[in-house]
Amino acid sequence: MRRLRKPDPDAAEADERTVRTAALALLAARDYARRELTARLVRRGYPEPLVEAVVEQLAAERLQNEGRFVEQFVTQHAGRGHGPIRIRMELRERGVADAACEDALAASGVDWSAIARQARQRRFGGPPPRDFRQRAKQARFLQYRGFSADQIRVALGPGADPAVDTAADPAGPDDDFEP
């Protein structure tokens, strides 16, 4: 449960230096999107025009960097097993422009199908499901995690379990096949 922070009684009479110090304290812990940082400071009770001016100044000094935030966000959430759809949605909620989201997702170089496969294996283990109910359940899980239909298909498809793929084919080679 989130703790609600009481507004700082001195925030109403805050000057630029006080707001800057509070913003730098937040940025010392992690990067923030511009809108997210502004909202946090306003919630603490600092006047919005002053907060916007300070955040603008921090961005000009590259202490608050939207591109760096987006890049780290994509890397971190891909590592958690989240797909590009979910990551894009969460970035939009934080006020990041669509173009910045798309650029970061494209530049990340992440194999989203491999991430989907790993997320499925971590959650359900073993080979891909054979029956419809288990397949639907795993597909819903991957959809919730933010993967596209194509990525889900690959994660649930025949190549989804490397242990099975390296085993010999029990039916033997197909001698009648001609390319």
Please enumerate in sequence order all residues whose Cβ is within 8 A of that of 78, keeping only pairs 6 or more positions apart, or say none: 87, 108, 110, 112, 115
Query: Does residue 24 lie in a domain region?
Result: yes
Please tell me whether residues 53 and 71 are part of one structural domain: no
Is pLDDT at 148 greater than 90 in this prediction?
yes
Boundaries of domain holding 78: 66-107
Query: Does residue 97 lie in a domain region?
Result: yes
Contact 53, 16 (CB under 8 A): yes
- The pLDDT score that the predictor gives to residue 82 is 96
Please tell me whether residues 43 and 77 are part of one structural domain: no
The pLDDT tens digits of the residues spanning 88-144 come to 999 999 999 999 999 999 999 999 999 999 999 999 988 888 899 999 999 999 999
Query: Does residue 176 lie in a domain region?
Result: no
Query: Does residue 119 lie in a domain region?
Result: yes
How far is residue 95's CA from residue 117's CA, in Å, rounded to a whole number?
A: 30
Query: Does residue 172 lie in a domain region?
Result: no
Domain at 122, CATH number: 1.10.10.10
How far is residue 136's CA from residue 124's CA, in Å, rounded to a whole number?
A: 13
Query: Does residue 7 lie in a domain region?
Result: no
